[in-house]
Amino acid sequence: MDFLNQLVSDVNGVLWGVFFLIPLLCGTGIFYTIKLRFVQVRKFGLAARFLLGGASLFGKRADKSGMSSFQALATAVAAQVGTGNVAGTATALVAGGPGSLFWLWVAAFFGMATIFAEAVLAQTYRTKDEQGRVLGGPAYYITLGMGEKWRPLAVFFSIAIIIALGCIGNMVQSNSIAHAMQTAFNVPAAVSGVVCAVLAGLVFFGGVGRLASVTEKIVPFMAAIYLIGGLWVIGAHITEVIPAFRLIFVAAFDPEAVMGGALGLTVAKAMQFGVARGLFSNEAGMGSTPHAHAVARVEHPAEQGLVAMFGVFTTVVIVTFTGIVILVTGVLDFKTTGIELTQHAYTVGLGSFGMAFVAVCLFFFAFSTIMGWYFFGEQNVRFLFRSRGVLAYRVIVCAFIVTGAMLKVDFVWSLADLFNGLMVLPNLVALVALHKVVGESLEDFEKKLDHYEERKSENIDDRMQRL
């Protein structure tokens, strides 16, 4: 087992290293940022209007025809905001220093353009199954956009994401929940696993309608609770906020100047761990979130592309709060890492309540990720087996949730990273191959938007003349 664990770790070191997936994902983001003329900046205000205009905790129930734009975003964010935002940020700060947070922001900025493209393609090439259910995602835009000759690539993607997210990924999420509950409240791991599986099963077997209904409520709630707790800690250490930001920017370009040379921190390390953690946390380019955006009921694909950018923006806000809390509380000692470091920071900031606070937040983050990742996997089960494999998939995922809670999952985490990396490759191929479709969609949307604004202006002028 040690040999296998080391082998997978070595492969991941190359796959997620500075010479393979990291430059490929960042390069794709930079390419789309330039091609779409910095859409994440130009259209950010419009994206906010679309998001706020459709936001509701009690939207129309989703069905086989799809879900609202906000419900689709909530489902995507449910998957994006997971344990990586709480534990992964701490790991990046320890491995790459405070400067890694700056490079995480850079990765997220370009990732917003990538996720815009993914959502547009998911909307453009979505389809329906034999029951009239809307389906979409990378497997669909590979086969429908690039042609049936590329179907083996789509099949490879589907298998990889089912294993990476639906099975192994959900196992480690339930393990995170069990560990946090046991540490904070002394709840046995088996109990946490069974309870988590039962709650998840109730959502799974309720179909897309119940899943959308749960995510549109739980995502705003969990984000608000975590940010309120973070604001409380930051407010209590307000004098340390400016020094913390100064530390981030200086350490991003000259780590030795602020951290000392003994730690071995370099710009390359800060960049590697910041970018890698940013890509993991926002999932831009990984091919996961397009499954949610594909089923959104919108008038134009680019509209959902704009809304999708807020998924990345949300992860950046939550990750930043985690990082700032760790820095202002002064707990970054490079000895502890992961969830223990985050819990330590909130214990300093919130007292004895801090550990319980992080455990509760982690439960919501991990549980919402389980729901999102399950849905992404189900879309690919339907791609491979149609409706025949869905029931078996639901039972298998619930079994993985229970099993994961009771295991030590270091090796399982490594396997999840491996399959995450493997599923990125087919998606990046499709994103590059179909770039013209994305560009034309945005151009068409902007022309229609300009026409709408002209008509709106003309109507106002007519009304003014009549007055």
Task: Report pLDDT digits (tens) over 91-140.
Answer: 888 888 899 999 999 999 999 999 999 999 999 999 998 888 999 999 99
Question: Which pLDDT belongs to residue 61?
Answer: 61
Question: Which pLDDT belongs to residue 208?
Answer: 84
**Contact present, 117 and 305 (Cβ < 8 Å):** yes
- Bridge partner list, 135: 127
Question: Which pLDDT belongs to residue 464?
Answer: 38
Question: Which pLDDT belongs to residue 54?
Answer: 62
Question: Which pLDDT belongs to residue 455?
Answer: 60
Task: Report pLDDT digits (tens) over 38-91.
Answer: 999 999 999 988 887 765 544 566 667 788 888 898 999 988 887 778 877 888
Structure tokens belonging to residue 202: 């109730």
**Contact present, 201 and 408 (Cβ < 8 Å):** no
Q: Cβ of 380: how many Cβ atoms within 10 Å?
A: 29
Is 450's pLDDT higher than 70?
yes
3-state secondary structure 125-190: CCEECCCCCEECCHHHHHHHHHCHHHHHHHHHHHHHHHHHHHHHHHHHHHHHHHHHHHHHHCCCHH
Nearest to 401 by CA among 121, 195, 156, 150: 195
d(Cα 359, Cα 175) in Å, to the nearest integer? 12
Domains and CATH numbers, the chain: 68-444 (1.20.1740.10)
Across 357-365, average pLDDT? 90
Task: Report pLDDT digits (tens) over 380-423.
Answer: 999 999 889 999 999 999 999 999 998 876 677 778 788 888 99
Across 230-257, average pLDDT? 92
Nearest to 175 by CA among 162, 189, 161, 185: 189
Task: Report pLDDT digits (tens) over 152-203.
Answer: 999 999 999 999 999 998 998 898 888 888 888 899 999 999 999 999 999 9
Task: Report pLDDT digits (tens) over 260-319.
Answer: 654 667 888 888 888 877 877 889 999 999 999 999 999 999 999 999 999 999 999 999
Angle at 154 between CA 150 and CA 156, to 5 degrees: 115
d(Cα 346, Cα 397) in Å, to the nearest integer? 32
Question: Which pLDDT belongs to residue 342?
Answer: 87
Phi, psi values for residue 63, rounded to 5° = -145, -165
- 247-285 in b/e form (b: 16+ CB < 10 A) is bbebbbeebeebbeeeeebbbebbbbbbbbbbbbbbbbb
Is 356's pLDDT higher than 50?
yes
Phi, psi values for residue 66, rounded to 5° = 125, -165
Question: Which pLDDT belongs to residue 196?
Answer: 95
pLDDT above 90 covers what percent of the chain?
Answer: 55
